[in-house]
Amino acid sequence: MNAEESDTDALIATLSAVDDPRTLGRYELLLPLGRGGMAVVWAARLRGMRGFSKIVALKTVLPALTTSPRAQRMFLAEADIASKIKHPNVCEIFDLGEDQGVMYLVMEWIDGEALSTLARACREAGDAVPHGVAARIVAGAARGLDAAHRLRDEAGKPYGVVHRDVSPQNILVSAEGAVKIVDFGVAKLTQRAQELTESGVIKGKVAYLAPEQVQKRDIDARADVFALGVVLYELATGIHPFKRETDLATLLEIASPDPAPPADVPEELAKILARALAKDPNERYPAMVDMARDLEAFAASVGCEDDAIAAFVGPRLAPLRAERAEELRRAARDADQRPPRPAAVGATTDAAIAAPPSKPEPRSRSPLWTAAGVLVVGVAIGAVGLRASQSVRPEREASPAPSASTSATTASTATAPTQAATATVTTTPPAPTASAVEAPSRPTATVARPSAPVARAVGPSSSPSASAPPSPPPTATPAPVASASTPTVIRRPDF
């Protein structure tokens, strides 16, 4: 069993406490892709509603390092740095999470291979990478690294990012010709160098270190320029300029003042290599963008356009891509047969969307709520009645209230069809006459029209009775006619 298989089994054992040990957060682990110094990279699947799914690359900390504070700091630093870089030549970060004690980083899926895999496939097939294609690939990587080097915070202060692990393993090339820089796990930020760097520890792969890294001197973006120059030399010639039989011998060769051996390449490309591989940082390209421009100019001079990468890489990676696609299909079928992991609280599933809304159960009402409802209804009825009584009060006050000695009677007459009706109110000595009270649908004052002339009621005194104010003209609807003895009917609203 190799180290990669051992780490995969260890991670599955770590996750075995749950129903689905191959799930981290929202992601299904499908297939391990590779192993680094502190992490394992997986092909994973994000599943959503209505059959949606997406393949992503998911990186997890090695099981042996899950409890290491230093490994966790480096993992979080990689997520922090890479997520801030927005460039087509840098692998995009989608998510950072932790589940069941395992931290994971979610990245975009690149349908391609590492540059180291492409170079090995070319060697096995006896093919040499064309110089123009090599220049185009390395120029794309230089553009991505330049974006990282120029990264600034909200105040405009440079982060001072140095990748420190530029190598063919961390440059991905897709079948469509896209070039992506990955793995900022050992990147250095000058703003936080003391937090992320241990004293006496060399970061990066030995064969791609810059002389100042080997000598433990301060480094900046020019250390990445040197490492990318080594990648270009190896890709264009098939030979590593400094690698020896042991790591110690390789480090001594890098640290020595001797320049890299001359490469059997065109003169313009040889000049680019000599400047990038200068042992003195001050003699190198000051920025990655300068190296990228020279490489693009060389590629154009030899007739190599942007689409040349896809034309060269596609056929040579086709067998590897087909094998990887079949492995993913098998892994996805196996994942579909596993029982689903219980959904998180608040999650929405396809079944929840497809199911019709259920009819709510009737709620029983407590006696307290019933009594409160009755009280509210009673108060409302009382308020309506009070308002209606106040609206009628002026009409009732216009007529004197009956007493034991007097009573108010209204005699209504009509002198002529064109004359207004008048009513005379007098006091009479006999017993009071009760007024009939009815409750029509709307308040009206009915005036009786007798056929006899106007009559005067004579009271105890000889003085004539006072006449009441004239009533308003009759409405369009004629009032019913009553006899002279019929008392006036005063109506009030029903409430």
What string of H, E and C letters represents the secondary structure of 205-237?
Answer: CHHHCCHHHHCCCCCCHHHHHHHHHHHHHHHHH
Kindly state the tokens that stand for 205: 């792969």
- C-alpha 36/C-alpha 75 separation (Å) is 12
Amino acid (one-letter) located at 490: I
Q: Please identify which of the residues 165, 183, 224, 294 carries the catalytic annotation.
A: 165
The DSSP code for 415 is: S
CA distances from 222 to 200, 283, 287 (A): 21, 10, 7
Q: Is 291 helix (H, G, I), strand (E, B) or coil?
A: helix
Give the whole-angstrom CA distance, residue 45 versus residue 60.
14
191 SS3 class: helix
Amino acid residing at 476: A
Asked whether 421 and 412 are in contact (CB, 8 A), the reply is yes
Helix (H, G, I), strand (E, B) or coil at 150: coil
Residue with tokens 């400047």: 275
Q: Do 491 and 480 form a contact (C-beta atoms < 8 A)?
A: no
| 210 vs 230: CA distance, rounded Å | 9
Q: Is residue 165 among the annotated active site residues?
A: yes
Residue entry with tokens 């320029």: 225
Q: Can you tell me the distance from the alpha carbon of 429 to that of 458, in angstroms, rounded to the nearest whole number?
A: 9
Q: What whole-number distance in Å separates Cα of residue 233 and Cα of residue 272?
A: 10
Per-residue tokens: 370: 């019933």
Residues belonging to the active site: 165
